[in-house]
Chain A
Amino acid sequence: MVRVRVPTPLRKFTNGADEVDAQGINVRSMVEDLDRKFPGIKDRICDETGKIRRFVNVYVNGDDIRFLQNLETALKEGDNISIVPAIAGGA
């Protein structure tokens, strides 16, 4: 079981919850599990080719999965996942 922080634009899928539990051996299967619990959420996180959308960043324990193994990044019990809109910041 991992803990997933849900950004505002996705909370209409999670009945308003800002954190939900999910299961999966890696990020890909975690997203599949989220979609089983909250149908439609995967289409918002991933594009039509199944990759994480350009404007979505996913972090595992604070690390950007693009520095890890992207969707294949392995997960373990108790990991904290953040799904964060990429459009932010400025310096």
Chain B
Amino acid sequence: MSFVKGLECRECGQGYPKEPLHVCETCFGPLEIVYDYDGIKKALSREKIASRGKNLWRYRELLPIDGEPQAGLYSGFTPLIRAHRLGEALGVKELYIKDDSVNHPTFSYKDRVVSVAISKAIEFGFDTVSCASTGNLANSVAAHAAKAGLNCYVFIPDGLEQGKIIGSAIYGPRTIAIKGNYDDVNRLCSEIADKYGWAFVNVNLRPYYAEGAKTHGFEIAEQLGWKLPRHLVVASAGGTILPKLAKAFKELKRVGLVEDGECKIYAAQATGCAPMIQALKKGTDLISPVKPNTIASSIAIGNPADGYYVLQAVRESGGWGESATDEEIIDAIKLLARTEGIFTEPAGGTEVAVAKKLIQQGRIPRDESIVISVTGNGYKTLEVVARSVEKPFKIQADLPSFDELYLQLTQPSSEKALAGEG
């Protein structure tokens, strides 16, 4: 049974039927799903959720599908990890990592939104799915399309990391690399979506797609024993996930799954592409687009669709935001790996680096619960850190060679010299 009543313009309130529509005809505002929350409150309980499979469809009443889930049956329910060692390094008492770097099947938070979008595409009867992507979304759409037997076209900016390109191509979509940055890809895709009758997950299916991001927040609350964390740090690129996390927390309270509590939400951007952080610091609602220049390609969106709503959600929650330089991002990737054994991509590095900064600034207190969302996987972006890690020491296959090396490695004075040889 579906609890979706229809779509509604977030700006002017005009109602629309449940169709593949994403923009209000009157004011161009984004369309949002309208739910019957009273019905959901009656139908859904903590016990019911606990009895279901460990995937994002355990919250299905709060997701915009009408029938049975059609995709992503193993997506979501990623670990929430108590990060003792990183907590110690950052000087905080209660720190958690929400680890979407191990999301199924393509190792980023995008498997959440795509699970919902592809389910919806199948419900609507589309035979071709598509997306504009900085890589992770393309990987996920291509994988889910393969599993569902749908045709697939993915559009990416040229110059992406190999892992992200091959990580789509392996599933057999047509990959189109656009000369330009993500914002160029996105503009073109808006026009292609308008012309071709495809399911563009982040264009004409966007209202449905974006709802999938809420499951990241539902899981955090459930994994904390149906409580909200006091502070949550998450990356912002197009601006999908952050406002949806705020929405998720509100919904949990509205349907009685979480009793009370407030969570301050903090936006993380790379300094080389930080239009929302700039607006936040200026105290304005107006986001000036920027031309991205950062190693964090997965969050290099200079013209964020939902930027306005990110600012709104951050301010409403009492949170804040910061940006991290490329160097800080790489340091944070290494810090997370070396304290928690989690290898994230630059988006995750940005999240950790910004959390560190906000803690140092005193914006996030050291004695309250903090969750850092880690939204992507470092094995896809090896190039980014290749030059910042120690290279293997090559030796002959005999014991004396190792004895000699070991001696050198354990003599403090020679450590520097050896590392220099790399």
Binding site for B on A (CB under 8 A): 5, 7-9, 12, 18, 44, 53-57, 59, 62, 64, 66-67, 82, 84-91
10 tightest A-B contacts by CB? Answer: A90-B202, A55-B28, A89-B186, A87-B30, A85-B23, A9-B25, A91-B237, A90-B238, A91-B134, A88-B203
Least Cβ–Cβ distance between B394 and chain A, in angstroms: 39
User: Across the interface, which residues of B come within 8 angstroms of A55, CB to CB?
Assistant: 11, 23, 27-30
Number of B interface residues in the complex (CB < 8 A): 50
Bits for B168-203, please: 1 = Cβ < 8 Å to A, else 0: 000000000000001110110111011100001111
A56 engages B182 (CB within 8 Å): no
A87 engages B303 (CB within 8 Å): no
**A54 to B, closest residue via Cβ:** B308
User: Across the interface, which residues of A come within 8 angstroms of B202, CB to CB?
Assistant: 88-90
B306 engages A87 (CB within 8 Å): yes
User: Across the interface, which residues of A come within 8 angstroms of B301, CB to CB?
Assistant: 89, 91
B137 engages A90 (CB within 8 Å): yes
19 additional A-B residue pairs with CB within 8 Å, beyond A84-B191, A88-B186: A7-B191, A7-B194, A18-B195, A44-B28, A57-B187, A85-B22, A85-B23, A86-B303, A87-B23, A88-B193, A88-B200, A89-B186, A89-B202, A90-B110, A90-B131, A90-B201, A90-B202, A91-B110, A91-B136
Least Cβ–Cβ distance between B240 and chain A, in angstroms: 5
B26 engages A90 (CB within 8 Å): no
B142 at the interface (CB under 8 A from A): no
User: Across the interface, which residues of A come within 8 angstroms of B303, CB to CB?
Assistant: 57, 64, 86
**B203 to A, closest residue via Cβ:** A88
Selected from B25, B134, B190, the residue in CB contact (under 8 A) with A84 is B190
User: Across the interface, which residues of B come within 8 angstroms of A57, CB to CB?
Assistant: 187, 303
Query: Can you offer 5 A-B residue contacts whose CB atoms are under 8 A?
Result: A62-B187, A87-B206, A89-B189, A90-B137, A90-B238
